[in-house]
Amino acid sequence: GAGVSQTPSNKVTEKGKYVELRCDPISGHTALYWYRQSLGQGPEFLIYFQGTGAADDSGLPNDRFFAVRPEGSVSTLKIQRTERGDSAVYLCASSWLTGGEQYFGPGTRLTVT
């Protein structure tokens, strides 16, 4: 079966623009996590979903960041008014249950110029 997929793999945008990053989890996985990874660092927790609802969004840096998972499967991370400091790799992971084994996608590399 297919693993976690993320699109696009690379995104270059200008400062101030809006971007959407998509995550397709493994079919049947109820938990979905978003992380941000800067160069030379470990992944930093942003938000996680249990089903359709955002169970914990305490890691979102500010209100420019928002994520949805309307049907409990695909999730979209949305960033408004992008800033150069938003440049990083955005990782998505899914698991059968909250706190279980996470399967990661390859990430989306976001570059804000």
Partner 1 sequence: TQLLEQSPQFLSIQEGENLTVYCNSSSVFSSLQWYRQEPGEGPVLLVTVVTGGEVKKLKRLTFQFGDARKDSSLHITAAQPGDTGLYLCAGLYNFNKFYFGSGTKLNVKP
Ordered DSSP codes for 8-37: -SEEEE-TT--EEEEEE--TT--EEEEEEE
Please identify, among the stretches 36-44, 60-68, 69-77, 78-86, the one whose residues bind partner 1 according to the rule CB under 8 A.
36-44
The answer to whether residues 56 and 69 touch, using CB atoms and an 8 Å cutoff, is no
42 binds partner 1 (CB under 8 A): yes
20 binds partner 1 (CB under 8 A): no
Q: Which residues bind partner 1 (CB under 8 A)?
A: 4, 33, 35, 40-45, 48, 55-56, 58, 91, 93, 98-99, 101-107
